[in-house]
Every structure is written in structure tokens, then in C-alpha cells.
Chain A
Amino acid sequence: MNEQLARDLECAIATDPRTHELGIHLQVRGEHLVVSGEVASEERRDMVLDVIREHDTGLEIADHIMLSAEPGPGGPGHERIVPPPSS
């Protein structure tokens, strides 16, 4: 699998109706296809990997996808914004 095919597969992940993930990046490293980027849930990670497997790259998938930090309880961050004195 060459670099152009990796870019084609990135486009497939961006346009496949199951995924539409625009932030997934692929790199060929020896016999590995490194998949990186960020998705919002485990389900979305699985979908990305399914789309890649369907393309039969012949490479071992190295899953480096990160999950977005899930918002948790606790007070929100406040920031005070003060107009400039001249305005």
C-alpha cells in the first residue's frame, strides 16, 4: 500500500456514510497501517476500523485512535472578559 492509497482510504473514511470522520490520519510503517486521530465514542472507532478492513490493505492495523474526553460532572470553567478601557 503506498501513500496515495492511504490518502484515498482517508477520503473513504471521510465520505463513508457510516463514519464521516474527517480527522482520521493513516500512515504506512513497514507492515503496519497506523490509524490516528480522534473520535467521540468506541462505536465510532469500531466503524472506522471496519471501513479500513473492508479495503483489504494487506497491512496490520495499528489502532492509535484516541477517544475525545467525555465531558464529566463538576463546575464549568468560567472566564471573565472585560472590554478594553478605551471602548
Chain B
Amino acid sequence: MPEPIRVAAVGDVHLADDLRGRYAPLLEGISAEADALLVAGDLTQHGTIDEAKAFADEFDAADVPVLTVLGNHDYHSGEEREIAQLLEERGMTVLEGTSTTIETRAGRLGVAGVKGFCLGFSGRSAADFGEPQMKAFTGHGIETAVVLRRALDDLAGEAPDVTVALSHFAPVDDTLLGEPKEIWPFLGNYRLGEAIDEAGVDLAVHGHAHAGREKGLTPAGVPVRNVAQPVIQAAFRVYDVVPRRSA
């Protein structure tokens, strides 16, 4: 069987000055283990530029491409555009309804990313009905899935050997087990999972659910991994994804 593409991932590192020095020593030399490092949002605690600098300083240590999406914490101070710009200037890729490809020794890795949003899951989801405020809430959740699907469709044109969907919010509820069920609609969105299943993805990676579990599957059987740092309890996890053409 051919070599896998090695995808490292972590989420919810919530960087601020008090956590400086926690990640950089563990990311040095990561190229021995992985071909790329994905970060599944909540890079910062309060969404400030200073915290984004702390994130960039820590994750600059990685000697592989760093691809991120932003999380809800990164939006809190209204500086999400500046944060994304700062990270891009530091050589990282920030995905929001966009995709990118990376050439690795084992083939072409394609990653489509979106923050995602709330909505919920089967039997427990918000409906696009009623007051304008409710429609705005559900509409944003629905729109994020549309945007992810579009990014995955664009990515398919690049013919990647391995396709990864990266989000902050969860696309399935399997990985929320451990979280109180009352808050599941605020942790993820089944329409993200539908977009992943329709587009044909090899691996979906998300964060946000600190008390959830790592492993799950979409309804069509795509592996989903919750890499929130409190879940994986490591600087990163590595998924060795075997290209589809070799199966």
C-alpha cells in the first residue's frame, strides 16, 4: 500500500500571553512526523491581535505548512479580519469558505475550511422558521454548510489525493459525547456533515467540543476527529491518511 499523507491537527489552543512557550518546543521538527499542521479554530482566548501574535509566535515553530480556520473565540473582539491578515503575513493559511492544496512526498493534500456555526443535529436542530432573529441564527448555520460545500467542490477541481474538511464547529454529534446534550445545538451543525458526505471527503477535523470525544463518523462513514486540545491532551495528533486511489 502506498505511503499515507500525514496530517497533524489540534484545535482550541486558546493562546494568550500566559500560555506562551507551551507549544513551540513541541512543534519544532514536526516535519519528521507530519506533512502539514491543521488548527481547528479558537487560536486565541479573547480574539485580540496580541493573542494572535502569541499564536503566531508559538506555531511559527512548525516546519510544515500551518493551515487554520478561526473559531468563535477568535471573533469575540471583532478583530477576526486583522487576525487572519496577521497569520497570513506570518506565512500561515487561514481558510474561511476556501481551500488550498499542498504537495507532499505522498501526494497532493487538499484542505477545505470553514468556521461553521451552531444549528444542531437530527431531532435537536434549530429550524429556519419564525422571527427574523431566529432565521438569522439558523440562516448563518445553513450558510456555513453551503460555503463549505462550495469550497469542497472547488477543491475537487484540483484533484487532491487526500481531501480533508477542516472546521471549528462539529459536523456530527458522535464526537460530542461527553458534552451536555442541552448544548449540542451550539456545538455543531448536521448540515456541515451533509456537505462532507456529498462532496466525498477522506477525513473531517473539528474542535470546539472540549468535553467531547475524539472519534466519530458521518452518516456516510467519513471519519471525523475532534482535535480540541482538552480532548486529545497533546500538542497535536497525526492522521496518516492513505490516498483513495490506492485502496
A76 to B29, CA, bound (A): 12
Tell me whether B235 and A76 are in contact (CB under 8 A).
Answer: yes
Q: Measured between alpha carbons, how far is A44 from B210 in the docked complex, in Å?
A: 16
Interface residues of B in 199-247 (CB under 8 A from A): 200, 202-203, 210-211, 221, 223, 225, 229-230, 232-244, 247
- Is B238's CB under 8 angstroms from A81's CB? no
Residue of A nearest to B230 (CB): A68
* Given A23-B211, A81-B203, A87-B244, A71-B239 contact (CB < 8 Å): no
Task: Compute how far the CA of A64 lies from the CA of B6 in the bound complex, rounded to whole angstroms.
Answer: 38
Does A20 lie within 8 Å of B45, measured CB to CB? yes
State whether the Cβ of B190 lies closer than 8 Å to any Cβ in chain A: no
Chain A residues with CB under 8 A of B240: 78-81
Interface size on A, residues (CB 8 A): 26
**Closest beta carbon of chain A to B179's beta carbon, Å:** 10
Flag if B19 contacts A75 (CB, 8 Å): no
Count of B residues near A, CB < 8 Å?
A: 41
Q: Is A79 touching B33 in the complex (CB atoms < 8 A)?
A: no
Partner of A83, one of B33, B73, B211, B247: B247
Residues of A within 8 A of B76 (CB): 20
How many whole Å from A72's CB to the nearest CB in chain B? 8
Tell me which residues across on chain B come within 8 A of A79, comparing CB atoms.
Answer: 225, 237-240
Q: A68-B229, A76-B238 are in contact. Are A81 and B223 (CB under 8 A)?
A: yes
Taking the complex as formed, is A85 at the interface, i.e. its CB lies under 8 A from any CB of chain B? yes
Q: Is A58 part of the contact surface with B, judged by Cβ < 8 Å?
A: no
In the complex the two chains form, is B221's CB within 8 Å of A38's CB?
Answer: no
Q: Does B23 contact A (CB under 8 A)?
A: yes
- Measured between beta carbons, the chain B residues less than 8 angstroms from A87 are 200, 244, 247
A82 near B8 (CB under 8 angstroms)? no
Binding site for B on A (CB under 8 A): 17, 20, 23, 38, 40-41, 43-44, 68-73, 75-85, 87
20 chain-A/chain-B pairs, Cβ below 8 angstroms: A20-B45, A20-B46, A38-B230, A40-B14, A71-B233, A75-B33, A76-B33, A76-B34, A76-B235, A77-B234, A77-B238, A79-B239, A79-B240, A80-B242, A81-B202, A81-B241, A83-B242, A83-B243, A87-B244, A87-B247
Closest 6 CB pairs of A and B: A71-B235, A69-B233, A83-B247, A43-B18, A83-B244, A81-B241
